[in-house]
Amino acid sequence: MGKTGKASKGSLKSALQAQQSRLEKKQKALQAAQVAEQKYAKKKDNGKSSANSTYASPRTTQQTMPFRPTDKVLLVGEGNFSFTLALVRLYQNEAAGGSGCTSRSVFMPPANITATAYDSDEGCYAKYPGAKEIVDEVRKSGVQVFFNVDATRLDKANPLKGKRFDKVIWNFPHAGKGITDQDRNILSNQLLVLAFLRSVVGVLAKGPIPTIFKPKKKRKTEDEDEDEDGDIDRKNDQGNEDESLPFSLPYTESEHREKTRGSVLITLRNVAPYTLWDVPKLAKKPPASATASTAPNPKYIQLRSFAFIRDAWPQYEHRMTKGERAHGTGTTGEGGEDRTWEFCLRDLRDS
């Protein structure tokens, strides 16, 4: 039994490392192509007067609204609960008729939100200054807050027993083990994501695959792309196309009330080394289990991915897994963008 488990663990590590090697080669090729393109563009523009030069106007990006107002939402891995607070404040602002509101409801009421943290309450408050005040406020608004909830063992979390959610969100997951070797660090975080995707199955709502609507007569932009392997039907949207509003609404009014299969949303920096985790592939084509006793990972469908715009979420503050750093000078993941990937189970038999 022990030998079988050891061999299986080795095959998982080999599969993840082979996948990582392919990604690194792909990224290097992409970077080389970008450099060549930039050199060509510079050469082409050389000698032209500034009067004849044209500049692309800056693209105004709206935050894709990942929720429906009727959704039951589970947040895992909350640090100081500032994203929870952002959702509460957005709902309160809308209810009060604040700026950015539309004629239709956009945000879910706080009572629809369950927010969890891996730490104990004492550990959370010690690690993240101001967290206690945030937790007090969101609880008062109606949010359910639970501590000591491991996102990789949601099936063992007593506060979640018997509950199903329309959306389960983990923003910026990280194992936080402080591993300096990049390959081992990537492997540790891939195993974290795989465990989460395995454990979340039991709390996802059951139903038909959700249809993600896209704005009518609008071409796909860099901000929202669909799964290259996916076969999800896309429909036109009769919803919000007012670019003065901070959120774009991918759901029609009628779909707000439709019960669909629960989805998982994972947000990461869209730059190395996080891109080397290859979260979409871990979800859609997971490697074999590490041991014979570990259940195989279910397969997911990627519904969409979109930019996560931090400024669109008032009060949101990204916090490191290890908490505040008194003299932190880390530069990992600088540049690029934040991106959210949304998945749902391919086969309901896995749930």
The model's pLDDT over 62-80, given as tens digits with 9 standing for 90+, comes to: 899 899 999 999 999 999 9
DSSP 158: G
Tell me the pLDDT band of 231, cut-offs 50, 70 and 90: very low
Structure-token match 């609404």, residue found: 249
pTM over 0.95: no
More confident residue, 130 or 333: 130
How many other C-beta atoms can be found within 10 angstroms of the C-beta atom of residue 144?
17
Q: Measured between alpha carbons, how far is 284 from 300 in angstroms, rounded to an integer?
A: 5
Phi first, then psi, for residue 213 (nearest 5°) are -80, 150
Domains, the chain, with CATH or none = 62-321+335-350 (3.40.50.150)
**pLDDT over 70 at 193, yes or no:** yes
Of residues 39 and 208, more confidence is placed in 208
More confident residue, 126 or 58: 126
| Residue 328 confidence (pLDDT) | 42
Instruction: With cut-offs at 50, 70 and 90, classify the pLDDT of residue 117.
Output: very high
How far apart are alpha carbons 344 and 165 in whole angstroms? 12
C-alpha 55/C-alpha 37 separation (Å) is 17
Q: Output the CA–CA distances (angstroms, integers) from residue 208 to 12, 26, 112, 345, in the order listed.
A: 32, 35, 21, 10
Report the distance separating Cα 345 and Cα 351, nearest Å: 8
Cross-strand partners of 115: 75, 145
Residue 32: predicted pLDDT: 52
Q: How far apart are CA 281 and CA 278, in angstroms?
A: 6
Q: Which two tokens stand for residue 249?
A: 């609404």
Residue indicated by tokens 């957005």:
90
Q: What is the dihedral of CA 64, 110, 343, 22, to 10 degrees?
A: 80
Report pLDDT for 55. 31
The predicted-structure confidence for 271-330, as pLDDT tens digits, reads as follows: 999 999 999 999 999 998 877 777 899 999 999 999 999 999 988 987 765 555 434 444
Give the residue-averaged pLDDT of 152-177.
Answer: 95
Mean per-residue pLDDT for 180-191? 91
Kindly report whether the peptide bond that precedes residue 250 is cis, defined as omega within 30 degrees of 0. Answer: no
pLDDT at 97: 76
Angle in degrees, CA 282, 283, 286, rounded to 5: 50
Reply yes or no: is the peptide bond before residue 273 cis, omega within 30 of 0.
Answer: yes
CB of 171 within 8 A of CB of 83?
yes
Q: What Cα–Cα distance (Å) separates residue 248 from each residue in 107, 228, 237, 307? A: 12, 22, 11, 12
How many CB atoms are located within 10 Å of the residue 254 CB? Answer: 8
Q: In the structure, what pLDDT confidence band is assigned to residue 26 with cuts at 50, 70 and 90? A: low
Nearest in space to 80 (alpha carbons), one of 152, 132, 157: 132
Per-residue pLDDT, 169: 98
Q: How confident is the model at residue 336 (pLDDT cuts 50, 70, 90)?
A: confident
Residue 297 CB: number of other CB atoms within 10 A? 20
Q: When comparing pLDDT for 105 and 84, which is higher?
A: 84
3-state secondary structure (DSSP) of residue 270: coil
Are the beta carbons of 176 and 325 closer than 8 angstroms?
Answer: no
Best CA proximity match to 75, nearest among 124, 113, 130: 113
pLDDT at position 214 is 47
